[in-house]
Structure 1
């Protein structure tokens, strides 16, 4: 565990039954023009009607930018940033999942011609915030509303890379269960397991510390005990609110600690095969946890004591650890998320390319409590091919 640690998080967070109504007083503060980032599917489903209504009631000029693809590469992110710059807005509202919020965060630090998104891949700290931002997650979720990270694809490397800069942390976050009420089950499940991965990875990270543990354990408790109901029952608003809060807490844990080999080895799956980020993580969650178990057994037992409310406290550390890994595996199974790359027709001959790309994600691999060698990565990928 780290002996020196810090915490960076959004300045103001509103959560609960009526959180979305806080949008109007926030923007009634001298703002001239808003750019609303979202995606076409949310627009078509009417899931951003309420935020639009509140902006219109406030009488503030706004433009919607919705041509954001899922899992954008840095070229696509740059196109959206350029469109944003043309609007000359002084406030950003992002309503969506991780891709939408990540692009909005990049826009908040890129209202200048001093650098491009490609430049930030090499020097992320070169950027400074130019436009304040407000995040409204429509999934629970990526935790992107809480983090200083923006993930973009790098096609020439068949990889996704995280741009990390504290300047991207949102100024405001609104967590309202109504925004995820009608989310289709496959999306709710994949993004929910992404948040689950954030929580368990941050708690077992080599960079874990008392601050990150506080948020990671609370996130794990909320997510593990509500994810199935939240994803399978459209009317379970209380469970959905718990998931939103858990996802946010897990995002905060990322800023204070960091994810590990699950995320590191999943990045090539999104970068080359465009497998959804949450699904990539779900596929790798159990194999990586079983690989890590010798180094994190006591931590998994501690997590058992916290989050398994009716658990048998007479179990040994080994038994508690095994129970936790089995519970993670069962959640993925019950939510019917694929657990094999065969589903996506990834050929076995791509194995060495996966290993090479996964081993490049040193930013996250260094967080793993058990060292991951190329041979280890190869064995993990072989389990899911």
Structure 2
């Protein structure tokens, strides 16, 4: 291996507990450097229905911790929604915030933790290193194998007025504790398993070909690709296959660690306007765009995509960029992910505005191994309007 041409850094959660039943170790794991008397639990309706929120509350209350609970974290949270949630507890004092659920619940928990300790509005935090002070300690417990948010310093905010999603990136968003329990993903519907799994795969492959890729991010990216490639269809077909579920959860976490080290690229930049304007779920948007952006990138990232093909387990004539692209296309068919943006109300007239919005996501566009013009971006969108 040759020496890296750039410096790099890596940071993630200091403690991770994993395995089937790991949620039951929450109480004993709460050995933080501050006393915890009051906690805020942030979750979503599915976690209540399955009894996981009650399980968290019970463990906290056995330790004498008083719990407040938010049950209604919205998918793809908007800045206004985050402000509303924060306003409910602006005068409260919490020693701990627990985020339990999909990526949206985890992101909101991270953002509320810093909004309650900083005199900043959420929109003032958008971008890199804009958060001024540390937040309330967090515990993050994912219920999907998708975003990897539990181990990243990132949180995504939807801005409907700009028809865009933008990230908050800060070391203060990293949690104190992560719990990875595949039992929480067992009841995940097929379409969520597909979309979140492909989201995790997109994190890994984009991190590996990113202009900021480095030895640390590469290690996590390739292991993520290996795990997801061998388990996504099994988890999709049989939610009760706990071995596949656990490997997908690990693959998602490794993908989050990879993007923490190197960042995602043009697929995500093009996906954000689709979510911001047309409410296309993030994992679905990534899945739709991924083969087309990789096809655009292969001229510059061919060697790296051969590494990806090897990690995916592709053999012979398929162990190259073309093989990677064909396999992704095959997955999207088997996972029943739409391939026509018209399904979501997008028309050809929307393409120029979408492309302009994507070009504004400069932090990610600059990571792409092949520079994209606005005309290139428009061409990719139009491939999804057959």
Same fold (TM over 0.5): yes
| 2:381 paired with 1:381 | yes
| 2:332 paired with 1:340 | no
| 2:325 paired with 1:321 | no
State whether residues 151 and 175 of structure 2, in contact with CA within 8 Å, keep that contact through their aligned partners in structure 1.
yes
- Tell me: CA distance 1:319–1:139, structure 2 relative to 1, closer, same or farther (3 Å): closer
Residue 238 of structure 1 and its aligned partner are, at CA, apart by 0.7
What is the 5 A alignment of 1:160-171?
Answer: 160-171=165-176
1:27 to 26, 30, 50: 30
Structure 2 equivalent of residue 305 of structure 1: 310
Structure 2 equivalent of residue 143 of structure 1: 148
Looking at structure 1, the residues matched to 213 and 294 of structure 2 have their Cα atoms a distance apart, in angstroms, of 16
- Tell me: CA distance 1:49–1:335, structure 2 relative to 1, closer, same or farther (3 Å): farther
Looking at structure 1, the residues matched to 327 and 246 of structure 2 have their Cα atoms a distance apart, in angstroms, of 22
Looking at structure 1, the residues matched to 360 and 31 of structure 2 have their Cα atoms a distance apart, in angstroms, of 45
Structure 1 equivalent of residue 66 of structure 2: 61
Residue 85 of structure 1 and its aligned partner are, at CA, apart by 3.0
Looking at structure 2, the residues matched to 124 and 79 of structure 1 have their Cα atoms a distance apart, in angstroms, of 23
- Cα deviations across residues 148-169 of structure 1 (Å, max 9, x unaligned)? 1111111221110011111101
Structure 1 equivalent of residue 9 of structure 2: 6
Residue 47 of structure 1 and its aligned partner are, at CA, apart by 4.1
Looking at structure 2, the residues matched to 2 and 163 of structure 1 have their Cα atoms a distance apart, in angstroms, of 27
RMSD between superposed Cα atoms in Å: 1.7
Structure 2 equivalent of residue 190 of structure 1: 195
What is the 5 A alignment of 1:116-265?
Answer: 116-121=121-126, 124-265=129-270
Looking at structure 2, the residues matched to 38 and 325 of structure 1 have their Cα atoms a distance apart, in angstroms, of 36
1:51 to 52, 56, 61: 56
Residue 123 of structure 1 and its aligned partner are, at CA, apart by 7.1
Residue 302 of structure 1 and its aligned partner are, at CA, apart by 1.4
Residue 360 of structure 1 and its aligned partner are, at CA, apart by 0.5
Residue 28 of structure 1 and its aligned partner are, at CA, apart by 6.3
Structure 2 equivalent of residue 365 of structure 1: 365
| TM-score, normalization by structure 2 | 0.94
State whether residues 2 and 209 of structure 1, in contact with CA within 8 Å, keep that contact through their aligned partners in structure 2.
no
| 2:115 paired with 1:115 | no
Residue 48 of structure 1 and its aligned partner are, at CA, apart by 3.0
State whether residues 81 and 103 of structure 1, in contact with CA within 8 Å, keep that contact through their aligned partners in structure 2.
no
Structure 2 equivalent of residue 91 of structure 1: 96
Looking at structure 2, the residues matched to 2 and 105 of structure 1 have their Cα atoms a distance apart, in angstroms, of 33
- Tell me: CA distance 1:56–1:112, structure 2 relative to 1, closer, same or farther (3 Å): closer
State whether residues 143 and 251 of structure 1, in contact with CA within 8 Å, keep that contact through their aligned partners in structure 2.
yes
Structure 1 equivalent of residue 18 of structure 2: 15
| Equivalences, count | 380
Q: What stretches of structure 1 of length at least 5 have no aligned partner? A: none
State whether residues 28 and 58 of structure 1, in contact with CA within 8 Å, keep that contact through their aligned partners in structure 2.
no
| TM-score, normalization by structure 1 | 0.95
Residue 83 of structure 1 and its aligned partner are, at CA, apart by 2.4
